Amino acid sequence: MGTRFDKVINRTGTYSTQWDFAEDRFGKNDVLPFSISDMDFQSPNEILQVMDEYVKHGVFGYTRWNHSEYKSAITHWYKSRFAVNMPADWIVYSPSVIYSISKLIEILTDETDKVILQTPGYDAFFKQLNASGREMIKNPLTYKNGSYSIDFNLLEKQLSHPKSKVMLFCNPHNPTGRVWSKQELKDVINLCEKYQVKIISDDIHMDIVYPNHNYIPITSMTTNPDHVFICTSASKTFNTPGLGGSYVFIPDGNIKDKFLTTIKQRDGLSSITIFGLLSIIEGYNYSAYWVDDLVDYLYGNMQVVSSFVKEQVPNVKFKMPESTYLAWMDCSDLKSSEEEIQNALVNVGNVGIMSGKVYHENEGKFLRMNVGCPRSKLVDGLERLEKSIKTIE
């Protein structure tokens, strides 16, 4: 029996980064794309309906976020989904998660300071830090038997440097799909507090978490939340990145004031888009059932990847992730180089799957495949992957 997520929607001609501008990433436009992390699914009906009503209203003036309807929708979500009470006065609007990270790093550090981040990692982190002038200290995750863990000995050594001021964290982790455990979060917090290093955590994938794993907001694991910041958004959850907007939890009142001064007075970016506002309120208040169904469907997609890879391309290793709709595939057993693999995917299979090099995975050959799509597209993509690999191995 089909579900709402089996519906195939033609996204070409919609200015879609994934579909209409695939050439930017893969050198040509006629690939079947599994790249940037948005989904091929329509957003929940509750969001579509409230947007339709507003379009009929037809007046698109300036809009504010600093009111109880916006903040209470967010606090309700955290209480109902994660059993965590997040103070409403910690919430600050931001146009995007990367903007939030950029501004916090600017506020918390000087140009001569060091920022620690784990690798592999979200590619925008590296671009942002390179542009900021801060020194980037890579903290490679330990990879063993298909799983990633934190090298706490190395992390402590890096945190202990007097110029280390911020740890840029990601939970759930993109691209590996790890959901950090309560003990891991405690250990990270304890080390950062020991060396007075602030934690900025990108939690944008928090709602796509699979069975037997739980997302825990890092602010709930510390008795001193002033040293921790969570940057996140509902855009991954409801597939609404095109609507704009994100939010930040800033427990420290002084840092919050500096952030607001930067966003409102210096950068002039404090006016939320009306559709970004409505998507938060309607999605968080009324669309939890849709997210439950989405996670079930995505988990099924991951199971399809697992079975297919095991049976059809056994020299590629894939372990079911704990979270995200990003399938992280280990191609280190392939004889071909990373460049040869990408060339085959693009020019033989006509399929666009991101190279692990993009995410600074330097220990082996990996692919990151976005499975946030109807199952029919996923199977087509996997068959193209198989065809590509078999021509070079």
Calculated CA dihedral for residues 188, 190, 196, 202, nearest 10 degrees: 30
109 within a domain of the structure (yes/no): yes
- The pTM score is 0.96
For residues 117 and 90, membership in a common domain is answered with yes
For residues 246 and 273, membership in a common domain is answered with yes
49 within a domain of the structure (yes/no): no
Average pLDDT over residues 118-143: 95
Average pLDDT over residues 354-383: 94
205 within a domain of the structure (yes/no): yes
Work out the number of other CB atoms within 10 angstroms of the CB of residue 96. Answer: 18
For residues 211 and 295, membership in a common domain is answered with no
In this predicted structure, which of 43-57, 349-363, 371-385 has the lowest mean pLDDT? 349-363
Last residue in a domain, options 286, 317, 350: 286
Strand partners, 135: 114
As to burial, measured by CB atoms within 10 angstroms (0-12 exposed, 13-18 middle, 19+ buried), residue 354 is buried
Last residue in a domain, options 234, 265, 286: 286
pLDDT band at 16 (very low <50, low <70, confident <90, very high): very high
55 within a domain of the structure (yes/no): no
Average pLDDT over residues 330-335: 95
- Contact (CB, 8 A) for 344 and 337: no
- Contact (CB, 8 A) for 151 and 143: no
- H or E element in which residue 166 lies: strand 164-170
pLDDT band at 18 (very low <50, low <70, confident <90, very high): very high
3-class DSSP assignment, residue 44? coil
User: What pLDDT sits at residue 227?
Assistant: 97
Last residue in a domain, options 286, 318, 336: 286
- H or E element in which residue 165 lies: strand 164-170
- Contact (CB, 8 A) for 324 and 174: yes
- pLDDT reading at 69 higher than 80: yes
